Structures are given as structure tokens and as C-alpha cells.
Amino acid sequence: MQVKSRSGRVLALPTPKEDAEINAGIAADPDTYELGAAEFAQLVRIGRPRSKTALKVPTTIRFDADVLAALKASGKGWQTRVNDAMREWVKKHSRA
């Protein structure tokens, strides 16, 4: 059976027979076990730590196609560099 994810990816689900074989393999592995409720409650979410500064706010902005192409061509982190450039502009042009 196949299902389509929210992102549009098509995923093939295992058949009941394949699922049973997978579960049998898991059960036969001495290094694998299911967590109990107490163990599960102790799990800690991992990932990127929350920023101590203000969170970023999603927005939409329109650039000329050549400007956007040049920004993207500058490599990974181009959005951060745009944010830094805008921060500098705001500092220099602040009315305070």
C-alpha cells in the first residue's frame, strides 16, 4: 500500500507479512526493547536549542529575480546574511 505525505512524498507501507517479519526481527534482537511508561516519561527532546534572543518571525518579501539568484548563489546561510545586512541598515538609519 502507498500513502502520500503532507509534503507530497509517496511512501510504501509494508504488507502485513512484511510487518510481521520486521516485528519478529525486532523481538529477536537482544539489544532492542520497548520502553516502559516511566522510561518513556524520562526522555528529553533533542534538537537545536532555543535561541535566547528574540525568535525570528516568518515573512514574505519580494526581490528582483537577479537579486534573489545572487543571494542564493552566495551559498548556504544566505538568509542569515540578508538578516544581518538588514540589521546593519536599520542601525544606520534609525531615527532614535
Tell me, what's the pLDDT at 46? 86
Segment 68-76 mean pLDDT:
95
What is the reported pLDDT for 14? 94
State residue 75's pLDDT score: 95
Q: What would the pLDDT profile of 11-68 be if each residue is shown by its tens digit?
A: 999 999 999 999 999 999 999 888 899 999 999 888 888 777 778 888 999 999 999 9
The residues that bridge with 3 in the sheet, in sequence order, are 11
**pLDDT the model gives residue 95:** 79
Q: How far apart are CA 74 and CA 3, in angstroms?
A: 37
DSSP strand pairing (2-4 vs 10-12) = antiparallel
Given a cut of 70, whether residue 94 has pLDDT beyond it is: yes
Residues 6 or more apart whose Cβ sits within 8 Å of residue 82: 71
Query: How far is residue 68 from each of residues 74, 79, 82, 85, measured CA to CA in Å?
Result: 10, 10, 10, 14
CA-closest candidate to residue 28, choices 20, 36, 40, 38: 20
For the chain, what is the radius of gyration of the CA atoms? 24
Per-residue pLDDT at 89: 95
| Structure confidence at residue 96 (pLDDT) | 62
